[in-house]
Amino acid sequence: MTQPINLLFSINDGYVNQFKVTLYSVVKNASRKDFHVYILQKPLLERHEEVKAYCDKLGVTYTPVVIDEQAFENAPTTDRYPETIYYRLLAHEYLPENLERMLYLDADILCINDLVPLYDMDLGQKLYAAASHTEDSDITDAINRLRLGNYESASYFNSGVLLMNLTTIRQRVNRSDMMSYIAEKGKLLFLPDQDVLTALYGHDIELIPDDIYNYDARYFLIYRAKSKADHGLDWVIEHTVFLHFCGRDKPWKKGHRNVFASLYKHYWHLTKKEE
């Protein structure tokens, strides 16, 4: 029997609507429909029943993963790196032990093509598969290697799309290493979860193309300029799997003028029709 596609999110009640759009776009564009969704949360979402009902309507199994109140009481935190940064990095501590793989997605992502080829990719002994938004910048990568202290990392990885090899992660990723690293580096950490991911495990991450699996929607013109082929809207619609609306300017906010904003709003409209 084929195992379901396991998806992981980490949201609060304020991001339930965005989660619905992401999930809807994933399910509607996937070549397989057997999904099991896990949501990291603390405490249990007030909109829990709403989430469950929506997942049921899409034919998706839903399991809440509620983080214990004391789970991170001794973890180093600041305004720049709150407790929530640990959730996806240590998700394996809270997920069922029988799960072998998981695909984590930020809830500001729109899926416009089939994610199954990514989910089914062979990870071997790699811990994760992730994309870099700076993979063409040797200077940026060199600075990050020096800042973070991992000179073997292939690149600086974005954690918004993260394919997890849970079997290997349980063997080699541990809480104490993360806590020690964060306490040591302190102010050198700009984006703490991505910094920790790259610094401690960057050499064990399979690099996947960002223009396919983690397309930063802010940089359409930059992608076009860097590409040797026609990298216009038609190319994105045909090839890209995940559009990632990084940064503060989100397509559900009033006045958003991103080139992909209309596409996101279309999926938002379709999602509302499913409710």
The pLDDT, as a whole number, for residue 222 is 86
Q: Could you write out the DSSP letters of every residue in 50-100?
A: HHHHHHHHHT-EEEEEEPPTTTTTTS---SSS-TTHHHHHTGGGTS-TT--
Report how far Cα 152 is from the mean position of its chain's Cα atoms: 23
The pLDDT, as a whole number, for residue 255 is 81
**How many Cβ atoms sit within 10 Å of the Cβ of residue 17?**
17
CATH C-level class of 5-208? alpha beta
The pLDDT, as a whole number, for residue 191 is 67
Tens digit of pLDDT at every position of the chain (275 positions): 578 999 999 999 999 999 999 999 999 999 999 999 999 999 999 999 999 999 999 999 999 999 998 888 777 776 656 787 789 899 999 999 999 999 999 999 999 999 999 999 999 999 999 998 754 454 345 445 444 444 344 567 889 999 999 999 999 999 999 888 888 876 666 666 788 888 899 899 999 999 999 999 999 988 888 876 788 999 999 999 999 999 888 999 988 888 999 999 999 999 999 88
Q: Tokens for 36?
A: 């099991």
Within the chain, how many helices (H) and strands (E) appear? Answer: 12, 10
Percentages of the chain per state (helix, strand, coil), in multiples of 5: 45, 15, 40
